[in-house]
Amino acid sequence: MKTMGYKQSLGDQTLFIKHLASRGVIALIVYVDDIVVTSNDKTGVKALKRCLITKFEIKELARLKYFFRIDVAHSHHGIFISQQNVVDLLAETSKFECKPTKTPFKQNHKLGE
């Protein structure tokens, strides 16, 4: 991805972003053998797909509905995401009554050995 002009995110090593001359942006995230691509530039996405096809055997699936316990719903108003599955997971693992915290560690806490 770097050789194609994408910048790798410092916060998430599986996230790659490219700013296009057309003022568009393409973002893609990789998880094992799945890639999720989003962009505001259809031409840029087509170019990305052409490049990926030359290097990998790919299969394009339907619109994204679910990724990493995040539900994605599409409508004419836009895209809506939900993490209802996280609530379900907490219930399944008997962790529903856990005490949430905003930050599990003090900010800038230095960990030792």
pLDDT in tens, 40-67: 988 999 999 999 899 888 888 778 887 7
Question: Is residue 42 within a helix (H) or strand (E), and if so which, with residue range?
Answer: helix 42-55
End-to-end CA distance of the chain: 35
Half-sphere exposure of 15 (CA within 13 A, CB side): 8
Q: Are 27 and 17 in contact (CB under 8 A)?
A: yes
- pLDDT tens profile 11-33: 889 999 999 988 889 999 988 88
Q: How far apart are CA 97 and CA 102, in angstroms?
A: 16
Q: How far apart are CA 18 and CA 63, in angstroms?
A: 21
pTM of the predicted structure, to 2 decimals: 0.66
DSSP state letter for 100: -
